[in-house]
Amino acid sequence: MTHLSDAAKERLVLKASQYRGYQIKEIALANNIGYSTLLKWIKSFRDSGKISGKSRSLKGSHKYLMDVSLSQRFSHLMATASLDQQSLGVYCRKHGLFSHQLDQWKNDFMTENLEKSNKSTKANATEIKALKAENQSLKKELLRKDKALAEATALLILKKKAQLIWGETKEDS
């Protein structure tokens, strides 16, 4: 039998505390927990003052959504991609997650990648254009410098050959 950590229980109770009746049964079923067990947890959390009977906010569970890094989210999504509902519930309990969090993360990855790819395509096109222009100007400058170096080399070689043929002139000494 798998036991949930206190943090996972608290997140589950915070989520379930905003609902009533059959919705709590669905939450319990989705997370592979008994309905009566979930009700006991809600009651004990209310008695301890961690959640109030009137306040039904999910601030605690939404906080956890932000605490998980993108790489951890991706690894959780990869690990749960081929699991059935029961295995998914076991995995979620073991790692203190909710199945709805995994769905949200998957949607975030899908939409974020599409938005980034559209933005990055436009940014890449302008960047490529700028790099091509810079590359052409650098090639022109390199060609000019190569020509100047070749001319200087040719002049030096001619000067040395002239000295070998005619010897040193009075101007050189």
| pLDDT tens string 55-73 | 344 344 444 444 677 888 8
> Residues in the chain, how many?
173
State the pTM of this model. 0.33
| pLDDT tens string 113-164 | 666 666 667 778 888 999 999 999 999 999 999 999 999 999 999 999 999 9
Compute the distance between CA of residue 32 and CA of residue 40 in angstroms, rounded to an integer.
Answer: 15
DSSP 117-128: HHHHHHHHHHHH
The neighbour count for residue 38, using CB atoms within 10 Å, is: 22
Q: How confident is the model at residue 169 (pLDDT cuts 50, 70, 90)?
A: low
Q: Which residue is associated with the tokens 């608290």?
A: 10
**Sheet strands (E) in the chain:** none
Helix axes 99-166, 85-95, angle to 10 degrees: 70
